């Protein structure tokens, strides 16, 4: 495939945008080469500036669970735009989508809309601190909760040490209120609570991790977090920015029957527009201004275009009783096909999958946390990525990102993908 126009556009972008991109993973730094510039998308396909068609396995990093340019969503945005694009005042739409979200998701009474997953997680942490009157939080290495200062923390030397900033601009003081643990390691959480009595406001976790590749929770891990939070009167925050409305109507809470105290949303809930949200039961949410003392605001929060897109998306999901079964079956078909090919060619690999989230790790050992995710053969992944791209298949340009499957994919698309994997596997 030719990417002459993409290369030209990237060179132009680098002159006026840092690194040529507005989010770092788009720059192809971890896989090498020049990023693809998209011109349009429809259903399961991307169309780039050079006229190539690509079968899409990232789907805007998750939101396009029903496919690109899904007609009901596009119609809703178009109709709404004709009435005005922003008011900074309440609209009926906000209440409509709030009612639907509360009806779909277990254990929540109220929801507040913001503009991104980062905002949602940042606000959830502030709310947890305000509700508990405690300052410290626990997060897990390899879990990404946006780029707010509290979350840009690297691990200390042990379970009871503080983290340190892993980005300039994050202060040591901020880092000291963030405690680090390894994903799927309950014993570390026990130690952290013991070392910080009555100081921990919340644990925030991706209940199915997607930012070290797809990493599912081990049996008992989420249940253990729930029990420890209850025991120590801390809040359990599920970051369902990726998993919400994707793995089940009610997200991971429904999938695994585990109650979180605060849930964060993004991606699917916006129908592809910039939307985030956080939700909880009444006693927690009523701490938010203007009812309570915990301040949170946003000029464009509840934007009518975003609310229209999100409402249309949730209505489609809510009405489609077979959606999640179809996603499960399609993703399983892909998993089994890739597994057979890589096995036939004696390539070391591990495939992790939950529902429509899936990752191929080029290591034969189980991938259960960030440390084991880093053991993968990333040189092999680079060859795999570029080989698939050459064959018209677009996967995440990083070994540490999950793939997201869309219902718009046909079995013909899946078979074409497996044919491409077969070709590429011969070269690995």
Residue 170: per-residue pLDDT: 81
Choose, from 144, 256, 349, 394, the residue flagged as catalytic: 144
Residue 258 confidence class, pLDDT cut points 50, 70, 90: very high
Q: Are residues 232 and 335 in the same domain?
A: no
The answer to whether 276 touches 265, Cβ cutoff 8 Å, is yes
Predicted confidence (pLDDT) at residue 399 exceeds the cutoff of 50: yes
Q: Are residues 334 and 315 in the same domain?
A: no
The answer to whether 294 touches 127, Cβ cutoff 8 Å, is yes
Residue 142 structure tokens? 């390899």
Q: Give me the mean pLDDT over the 253-272 stretch.
A: 97
Q: Are residues 363 and 404 in the same domain?
A: yes
Residue 269: per-residue pLDDT: 97
Q: Which domain holds residue 77?
A: 71-319
Q: How far apart are CA 112 and CA 23, in angstroms?
A: 25
Q: How far apart are CA 387 and CA 424, in angstroms?
A: 5
Residue 157: per-residue pLDDT: 33
Q: What are the residues whose beta carbons fall under 8 Å from the beta carbon of 67, sequence distance 6 or more? A: 42, 43, 44, 59, 406, 407, 408
Q: Are residues 95 and 77 in the same domain?
A: yes
- A 10 A CB-CB count for 377 gives 17
DSSP state string for 150-167? GG-EE--SSTTSB-EESS
Q: Give me the mean pLDDT over the 226-248 stretch.
A: 98
Q: In CATH, what number is assigned to the domain containing residue 328? A: 3.90.1150.10
Residue 74: per-residue pLDDT: 98
Q: Are residues 342 and 330 in the same domain?
A: yes
Percent of the chain with pLDDT over 70: 97
Q: In CATH, what number is assigned to the domain containing residue 260? A: 3.40.640.10
Choose, from 139, 267, 330, 382, the residue flagged as catalytic: 267
147-156, 249-258, 296-305, 415-424, range with the lowest pLDDT = 147-156
pLDDT digits (tens, 9 = 90+) for 31-90: 999 999 999 999 999 999 999 999 999 999 999 999 999 999 999 999 999 999 999 999
Q: How far apart are CA 236 and CA 205, in angstroms?
A: 8
pLDDT digits (tens, 9 = 90+) for 375-393: 988 899 999 999 999 999 9
Q: Are residues 86 and 158 in the same domain?
A: yes
| 27-48: burial string, b at 16+ Cβ within 10 Å, e else | bbebbebbbbbbeebebbbbeb
pLDDT digits (tens, 9 = 90+) for 149-188: 888 776 433 333 455 677 788 887 777 899 999 999 999 9
**Cα–chain-centroid distance for residue 148?**
15
48 catalytic per annotation = no
Q: Are residues 399 and 363 in the same domain?
A: yes
Q: How far apart are CA 225 and CA 229, in angstroms?
A: 6
Q: What is the pTM of this model?
A: 0.95
SS3 132: helix
Task: Report CA-CA distances (Å) from 368 to 29, 141, 184, 334.
Answer: 25, 12, 7, 21
DSSP state string for 11-43? HHHHHHSGGGSSSGGGG-TTT-S-PPPEEEEEB
**Residue after which a domain boundary falls, among 319, 343, 368:** 319
Choose, from 48, 56, 185, 239, the residue flagged as catalytic: 239
249 catalytic per annotation = no
Residue 417 structure tokens? 């993908």
Geometric angle at alpha carbon 61, from 119 and 383, rounded to 5°: 135
Residue 161: per-residue pLDDT: 40
Residue 394 structure tokens? 């677009």
**Residue after which a domain boundary falls, among 276, 299, 319:** 319
Q: How far apart are CA 357 and CA 242, in angstroms?
A: 9
Q: Give me the mean pLDDT over the 127-135 stretch.
A: 98
Residue 95 confidence class, pLDDT cut points 50, 70, 90: very high
Residue 154: per-residue pLDDT: 64
Q: Are residues 122 and 215 in the same domain?
A: yes
The answer to whether 303 touches 311, Cβ cutoff 8 Å, is no
Q: Are residues 400 and 285 in the same domain?
A: no
Residue 29 structure tokens? 């730094």
144 catalytic per annotation = yes
Task: Report CA-CA distances (Å) from 264 to 23, 38, 100, 152, 273.
Answer: 21, 29, 16, 18, 16
* Strand ranges of the sheet holding 110-114, from the earlier edge strand across to the other edge: 110-114, 276-280, 262-265, 235-239, 200-205, 136-141, 178-182
pLDDT digits (tens, 9 = 90+) for 280-293: 999 999 999 999 99
Q: Are residues 338 and 370 in the same domain?
A: yes
Percent of the chain with pLDDT over 90: 89
Residue 163: per-residue pLDDT: 55
Q: Are residues 313 and 347 in the same domain?
A: no
Q: Give me the mean pLDDT over the 327-342 stretch.
A: 98
**Residue after which a domain boundary falls, among 298, 319, 340:** 319
How many structural domains are present in the chain?
2
Q: Are residues 186 and 291 in the same domain?
A: yes
């Amino acid at each position: 495939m030719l990417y002459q126009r993409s290369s030209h556009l990237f060179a132009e972008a680098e002159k006026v945008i840092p690194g040529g991109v507005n989010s770092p993973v788009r720059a192809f730094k971890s896989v090498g080469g020049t990023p693809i510039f998209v011109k349009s998308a429809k259903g399961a396909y991307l169309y780039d500036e050079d006229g190539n068609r690509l079968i899409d396995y990232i789907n805007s990093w998750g939101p396009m669970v029903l496919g690109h340019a899904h007609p009901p969503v596009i119609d809703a945005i178009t109709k709404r735009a004709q009435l005005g694009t922003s008011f900074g005042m309440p609209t009926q739409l906000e209440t409509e989508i709030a009612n639907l979200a509360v009806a779909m998701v277990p254990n929540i009474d109220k929801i507040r809309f913001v503009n991104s997953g980062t905002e949602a997680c940042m606000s959830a942490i502030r709310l947890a601190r305000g509700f508990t009157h405690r300052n410290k939080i626990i997060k897990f290495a390899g879990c990404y909760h946006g780029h707010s200062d509290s979350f840009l923390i690297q691990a200390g030397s042990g379970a009871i040490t503080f983290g340190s900033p892993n980005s300039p601009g994050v202060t040591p003081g901020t880092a000291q209120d963030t405690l680090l643990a390894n994903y799927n390691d309950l014993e570390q959480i026990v130690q952290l609570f013991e070392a910080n009595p009555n100081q921990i406001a919340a644990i925030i976790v991706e209940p199915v991790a997607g930012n070290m590749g797809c990493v599912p929770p081990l049996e008992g891990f989420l249940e253990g977090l729930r029990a420890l939070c209850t025991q120590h009167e801390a809040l359990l925050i599920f970051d369902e920015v990726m998993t919400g409305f994707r793995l089940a109507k009610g997200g991971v809470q429904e999938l695994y029957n585990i109650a979180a105290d605060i849930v964060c949303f993004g991606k699917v809930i916006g129908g592809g527009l910039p939307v985030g949200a956080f939700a909880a039961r009444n006693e927690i949410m009523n701490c938010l201004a203007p009812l309570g003392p915990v301040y949170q605001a946003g000029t464009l929060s509840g934007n009518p275009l975003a609310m229209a897109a999100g409402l249309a998306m949730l209505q489609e999901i809510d009405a489609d009783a077979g959606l999640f079964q179809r996603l499960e079956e399609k993703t399983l078909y892909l998993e089994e096909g890739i597994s057979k090919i890589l096995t036939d060619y004696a390539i070391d690999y591990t495939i992790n999958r939950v529902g429509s989230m899936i990752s191929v790790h080029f290591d034969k050992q189980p991938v259960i946390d960030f440390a084991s995710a880093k053991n993968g053969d990333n040189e092999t992944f680079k060859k795999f990525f570029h080989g698939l791209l050459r064959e018209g298949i677009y996967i995440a340009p990083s070994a540490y990102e999950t793939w997201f499957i869309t219902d718009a994919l046909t079995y013909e698309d899946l078979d074409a993908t497996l044919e491409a994997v077969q070709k590429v596997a011969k070269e690995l």
